[in-house]
Structure 1
Amino acid sequence: MKKNDQHPTKAMLKRFLLPTLNRSYLLRVAVLGTLTFLFFRYICRPAWINGESMLPTYQQRELLFYWQPTYWFSTPKRGDVIVIRMAGNNIFLLKRVVALAGETVEFRDGTLLLNGEILPDEWASLTPCDWNLEPRTVAENCVYVVGDNRSMPIEQHEFGQVELRRISGTPISFRKRTGNTTP
């Protein structure tokens, strides 16, 4: 073996770490960059949680990714955690679906009632509250959402009816959580 010959693995590693900046390499970098941008812009978006309305399921200042294709061909189910687009493409809310179109929802002394009956699901009473809200029927093409942290005063909580077209996706969970949170 000649002194100038390098081990094939060493040569490959050198080529990988110190690539030749030719047209082919730059094209690969451009394509990969474009695909990465498109993936994180239209398929799997990152978001920071800023608020306490979804405690204890999601923590404040937690980074999450949400999967946008979840509801491209289906609609949310009761109990799903969804990401809602509020204004433009920069302000989103993270909430749980508690009622579907045509159903009546109300809070009576902190108890969530669906069509006049207590909702038996595990996420229906994650945190105790004293909320009172008159019965309201969810309109067509809408769902009714509320956060899991109902110990917050009702005045500080964003909740209510949301049009299906405003739903951006569902959070992707990397750890065990309460309720249905993954697509």
Structure 2
Amino acid sequence: MKRSQLAREIVEILALTILIFLVVRFVVQSYRVDGPSMQPGLVTDQYVMVNKVNYLFHGPERGDVIVFHYPRDVTQNFIKRVIGLPGDTITTDRDTVTVNGKVLDEKAYISAPYNLAGQTWTVPANQYFVMGDNRPVSDDSRTWGFVPRDYIVGKAVLVFWPLNHIHFIDTHSDVYKDLPNK
């Protein structure tokens, strides 16, 4: 009797462990930052926690830092900041980014203002315009276009490695609060 009870408890513990693992794996994912495109906020070899269920009921918001499948090679994942939502008009000149006619004050998170040339984009339905915070070196929507909604893995919410750099990732929502919607 005791042996069968022990076997049952072991099976229950294993089943519970597998269930917890699967739930956690569905909800969060880690992502290793690779490259300088999100400096100064995120640097190479930091690990971030990505909330994979954040966008089940609503889309990304301006300022969110997202992990997504690179549209030109979906085997690669990138991390960038959402600048434009579906329907937004984004305009750049050498030093500024304008969304729906309002110039963004991005001093709090970009390394340096930089754009190659003045351009204008209108974000299509179910797509997003993203940019890295290190504008002079970032490979982003300015060069390869928009990110489809179904390519988004999730919202980066926390730097958890290295331990001496643990912090929540700031969306700088105050930069975007007064933007008119399209």
The bucket for the TM-score relative to the shorter chain is 0.7 to 0.9
Per-residue CA distance 1:97-150 (angstroms, 9 max, x = gap) = 111111111221131122343113555744232432410110111111111111
1:92 paired with 2:77, answer: yes
Q: Decide whether aligned partners of structure 1 residues 123 and 142 sit closer, same or farther in structure 2, where only a CA change above 3 A counts.
A: farther
Equivalences for 1:29-44 in 2 at 5 Å?
29-44=13-28
Aligned to 1:138: 123
**Is 1:163 the equivalent of 2:155?**
no
In the alignment, the residues of structure 2 paired with residue 176 and residue 44 of structure 1 have an alpha-carbon distance, to the nearest angstrom, of 15
The structure-2 alpha-carbon separation of the partners of 1:125 and 1:65, relative to structure 1 and needing over 3 Å to count, comes to closer
Task: Give the TM-score of the pair, scaled to structure 1.
Answer: 0.73
1:22: how far off?
Answer: 3.8
**Conserved in 2, the CA contact under 8 Å of 1:46 and 1:65?**
yes
Q: Which amino acid aligns with 1:145?
A: V
Which residue of structure 2 lines up, in the alignment, with residue 28 of structure 1? 12
In the alignment, the residues of structure 2 paired with residue 63 and residue 32 of structure 1 have an alpha-carbon distance, to the nearest angstrom, of: 27
Find 2:33's aligned residue among 1, 26, 49.
49
RMSD: 2.6
AA aligned to 1:70 is N
**Uncovered stretches (5+) of structure 1, i.e. residues with no partner:** 1-20
- Of 164, 171, 174, the residue aligned with 1:179 is 171
Contact 1:46 1:64 in 2 (8 A): yes
Instruction: For residue 42 of structure 1, report the CA deviation from its aligned partner.
Output: 1.4
Structure 2 CA distance for partners of 1:79 and 1:122, relative to 1, 3 Å: farther
Ranked by relative contact order (alpha carbons within 8 Å, sequence separation 6 or more), the top structure is 2
Q: 1:39 to 1:133 in 2, by over 3 A?
A: farther
Change in 2 beyond 3 A, CA 1:98/1:129: same
Equivalences, count: 158
The CA distance in 2 between the partners of 1:97 and 1:123, in whole Å, is 15
Residue 113 of structure 1, aligned match among 69, 75, 98 = 98
Percent of aligned pairs sharing the same letter: 26
Which consecutive residues of structure 2, in runs of 5 or more, have no partner in the other structure?
159-165, 174-182
The TM-score normalised by the length of structure 2 is 0.74
**1:117 maps to amino acid:** K
Secondary structure of the residue aligned to 2:22 is helix
SS for the counterpart of 2:12 is helix
Counterpart amino acid of residue 85 in structure 1 = H
